[in-house]
Amino acid sequence: MGRVEGKTVLITGAARGQGRAHAIRLAEEGADIIAVDLCEDIPTNSYPMARRADLDETVQQVEKLDRRIVALQADVRDRVGLRAAVEQGVTELGGTLHGVVAQAGICPLGTQDAQAFLDAVSVDFNGVVNAVDAALPYLADGGSVIATGSLAGLIAGATDNPSNGFGGLGYSFAKRSVASFVNDLAIVLAPRSIRVNAVHPTNCNTDMLNSEVMYRQFRPDLENPTREDALPAFPAMNAMPVPYVEPEDIAAMILFLVSDESKYVTGMQMRVDAGGYVKLRPQQPTF
């Protein structure tokens, strides 16, 4: 028996990166997957989004594990379109959802365009609310809702540093809002024994981190920093001596939270951050 055998899980942003890792890990442990991704660029976001070919690769990887997957192109900002996609996926896979991993995200750093602020909030926060909204009619009692936050979004002076522009401010606002949303939604869904938790990754080795805007955040002293330039600076986020975690490290937490092993774990801010948060000593006495 796999750890999530027989469960059906919706994952937004599943074409690549962490979303694909979650789809594969959950499928390895017996889940069927509804994989949603935009597969198009968002103009204020300077690095490219996934493409249909990426989503197709996720499909292949899950099918290799003999699990079922329905992959759909939809925009998490579009509540009506997302509802239709989720309805289609759930109908094809038996009518019930046991988990939601709302993790589609953008990080439109490096622009003073006000639209970047709104896009970050619309994808990274409204997109989470829309995913829960689309899933709720099908979500079984005892199910699991997981939303992806961010270590950088939670700590002051990281993505919200003025040098990152309005998109960075929007990213931090959205991720703080995700943390708060999860806290209160846990109260609302507890009577149905549905758990609601946030996962906050530190730097994770995906296209979002491996982008020019991120290299510039870590090496503001250079005009056109490369990955090699940024690599020695990445560990500054963490207490442990690592530059980043891998998508599979986050998937391990997602698997635990979707599985019944965490059936009484709710309202939690689960940081997979190599000690990046505690090293700021948030519990240090103030006297």
Q: Which residues are catalytic?
A: 171
Helix or strand holding residue 249 (H, E) = helix 247-258
Window 147-176: residues binding ligand NAD (CB under 6 A): 148, 150
Q: How far apart are the first and last CA of the chain?
A: 52
CA distances from 94 to 68, 87, 263 (A): 11, 11, 22
Considering the rule CB under 6 A, would residue 77 count as an interface residue with ligand NAD? yes
Return the number of the residue (38 or 213) whose C-beta is nearest ligand NAD: 38
Window 192-221: residues binding ligand NAD (CB under 6 A): 201, 203-204, 206-209
Considering the rule CB under 6 A, would residue 37 count as an interface residue with ligand NAD? yes
Return the number of the residue (187 or 236) whose C-beta is nearest ligand NAD: 236
Would you give the binding string for ligand NAD spanning residues 217-256, x where CB under 6 A is met? Answer: ----------------------------------------
Return the number of the residue (105 or 170) whose C-beta is nearest ligand NAD: 105
**How near is the Cβ of 114 to ligand NAD at its closest, in Å?**
18
CA distances from 282 to 36, 156, 159, 234 (A): 36, 12, 18, 21
The answer to whether 273 and 238 are in contact (CB under 8 A) is yes
**How near is the Cβ of 285 to ligand NAD at its closest, in Å?**
29
Would you give the binding string for ligand NAD spanning residues 11-30, x where CB under 6 A is met? Answer: -xx-xxxxx-----------
| Residue 262 CA, distance from chain mean position | 19
Long-range CB contacts (within 8 A, 24+) of 89-95? 89/10, 89/34, 89/36, 90/8, 90/10, 90/34, 90/138, 93/8, 93/32, 93/34, 93/68, 94/8, 94/32, 95/138
- Out of 8, 103, 111, 177, name the contact with ligand NAD by CB under 6 A: 103
The answer to whether 22 and 278 are in contact (CB under 8 A) is no
Residue 267 tokens read as 């309202």
Return the number of the residue (29 or 75) whose C-beta is nearest ligand NAD: 75
Return the number of the residue (16 or 195) whose C-beta is nearest ligand NAD: 16
Where on the chain is the footprint of ligand NAD (CB under 6 A)?
12-13, 15-19, 37-38, 49-50, 75-77, 103-107, 123-124, 127, 148, 150, 201, 203-204, 206-209
